[in-house]
Amino acid sequence: MKTHHQDHYILDSESILEQVELPSITEPFPQRPLFLSRLTCGLFGISEDEIEDYQSLDSLFIKNRFNTFFFKAAGDSMEPTIYQGQILVVDRSKNNYNGKVCAIVYDEKIICKRIIMKGEFIILKSDNPKYKEIVIKNNENVVFWGVVVAIAGFIE
Show the domains of the chain with their CATH numbers: 2-56 (no CATH), 65-152 (2.10.109.10)
pLDDT of 118 over the 60 cut: yes
Q: Is 150 helix (H, G, I), strand (E, B) or coil?
A: strand
Taking the C-alpha atoms of residue 29 and residue 10, their distance in angstroms, rounded to an integer, is: 33
Average pLDDT over residues 147-152: 92
Amino acid identity for residue 89 in this structure: V
pLDDT of 129 over the 70 cut: yes
pLDDT of 31 over the 80 cut: no
pLDDT tens digits, one per residue of 49-104: 666 777 777 777 777 778 888 899 999 999 999 999 999 999 999 989 999 999 99
- How many CB atoms are closer than 10 A to CB 146? 23
Average pLDDT over residues 133-154: 87
Contacts 24+ apart (CB under 8 A), 21-24: 21/48, 23/54
pLDDT of 119 over the 50 cut: yes
CA nearest 122: which of 148, 103, 140?
140
Measured between alpha carbons, how far is residue 97 from residues 7, 117, 123, 138, 143 in Å? 49, 8, 11, 16, 11
